[in-house]
Amino acid sequence: MSSRPEFQAPPEIFYNETEARKYTSSSRIVEIQSKLSERALELLDLPNDGVPRLLLDIGCGSGLSGETLSENGQQWIGLDISDSMLDVALEREVEGDLLLSDMGQGLGFRDGVIDGAISISAVQEFDLFSVFDKQWLCNADKSSHVPRLRLKAFFGSLYRCLARGAKAVFQMYPESVAQRELILGYAMRAGFSGGVVVDYPHSTKARKEYLFLTCGPPSMSLALPKAVVEDGESCSEDENGSDGDNQTVNSRSVMLKNISFCLYYRTHQLYQIRCLGQCISYISLWILNKLLVRISDRQRPSKRQKTTKKGKGKGWILKKKEQMRKKGNAVPNDTKYTGRKRKTHF
Amino acid sequence: MRLLTHNMLSSNIKGVTNGFPLGIIIDKSTQIEVEINTDFLKTMFSKIDWKALVDAATLMGYSDLPEEVDESMLESEELLNKFHHALLELHLEEGALICPETGRRFPVSKGIPNMLLHEDEI
């Protein structure tokens, strides 16, 4: 768990000069990053007319994803919070412009000027989640880093600066269902419509999640892009086409699965909570009952012997004496004085 | 930083209602030639705030842009070349951007503007 960089330190500190260089010189990371950004660009589904668009690369880092954008002939502006990363990007002579900016503070762009946004592995860096759960968009390392406010500022400003109908694709590794829901929730609240596209949903390693957002109200005609599923095996009932190596699954069904999973998760939790609640209430009731019985026992008046002014009488005494004799006890003989009242003196 | 980016940026400080256009203080600027793409220029034209671009270009020492432009003038190659030069080839290397309302300086170093806000500006 601590191997994830967002758990170790805030991004502007974690990505110091050495980390930034390490990040960019690792060929594996470079490869993964360019693959992810290509896929994100594909999901962005820009019109294929050869005209460059103005895109945002949020959390551009050393410009690895920006390079993919340039290769595809797009114009882009990159934002990042780590100046060491941006220095590396400068050295690599990326084509886009770079800004040192914190996405949790909101994006400072004019309204409706950006044609699309991508973000590779940065939204979780926005750890907006909670003070205890640290990821970076949800980062809560400083007092001003109230995650929810940061998410709100980010998605609000993003919605404003995107042109109507523009799309935004965020590749992310959400930590939990709750975090994904939180991020998605804030995106929806900002006015976006869209959902999560899960590539390779059955693989833990290759599984990639893309938050796909469209600027504007949801429309029935809006089709979510398709998710990629690993070849062969386990793609189960959702298979659309069995041709070739990459089989595609309708991401809507993936989404639905996701949602139903969430629902199941929730109801399950609720059910558990209810069961637990019932148990607790039964137990407490039982304990309470016990206590009450005991208290009432203690408080109940003890049986008083029935006494009259005359006393028990000679018959009662003779009866008792007889009982004691039967038990084998030494009992004085019955005489004319037995059970007789003493005479009053004076 | 190209003037394209300058034309898109606005001040993001809390309470600022109109943070556009940001003022420019130039310590050092450069020009880098890039290939012209007329399609991009035509699509960007509707999004560009022309007056801000002209002002910024003048500050950067390029005053060939006409004050008033409309869609029909985009057919002329001469104008497109000027537009291209101003928008994509002029770079601000060192200096600062100034918020028009609060006067807050956003320093620019090595072509990267520092748009980070202080805690009281969020």
Q: How far apart are CA B25 and CA B98, in angstroms?
A: 8
Q: Is B40 on the interface with A (CB under 8 A)?
A: yes
Question: Is there a contact between A113 and B20 if contact means CB atoms under 8 Å apart?
Answer: no
**In CATH, what class is B3-12+26-111?**
mainly beta
**Both structure tokens of A57:** 């690369």
Beta bridge partners of A78: A57, A98
Q: B19-32 b/e with 16+ CB inside 10 Å = b?
A: bbbbbbeeeebeee
For A105, the closest of B12, B39, B47 (CB atoms) is B12
pLDDT, position A324? 93
Q: Where are the domains of chain B?
A: 3-12+26-111
Chain B residue numbers with beta carbons less than 8 Å from the beta carbon of A147 are none
Fold (topology level) of A5-249: Rossmann fold (3.40.50)
Residue-wise pLDDT for A106-158, tens only, equals 888 998 899 999 988 776 555 443 333 334 555 555 545 577 888 888 899 99
Residue-wise pLDDT for B18-55, tens only, equals 888 899 999 998 888 888 888 888 888 888 889 999 99
Q: Where are the domains of chain A?
A: 5-249, 251-295
- Order the strands of the A75-80 sheet from edge to edge: A97-100, A75-80, A54-58, A114-120, A162-172, A208-215, A192-199
**Strand ranges for chain A from DSSP E:** 54-58, 75-80, 97-100, 114-120, 162-172, 192-199, 208-215, 227-229, 247-249
For residue A5, cis peptide bond before it (omega within 30 degrees of 0): no
Residues in contact with A152: Cβ distance below 8 Å, sequence separation at least 6, in sequence order: A186, A189, A190
**Both structure tokens of A206:** 């290759």
Describe the crossing of helices A147-161 and A177-189 by its angle, rounded to 10 degrees. Answer: 40
Question: Is there a contact between B43 and A106 if contact means CB atoms under 8 Å apart?
Answer: no
pTM: 0.68
Tell me the CA distances in angstroms from A45 to A36, A166, A294, one per residue in order: 14, 10, 75
- Over residues A228-236, the mean pLDDT reads 50
- Over residues A41-50, the mean pLDDT reads 84
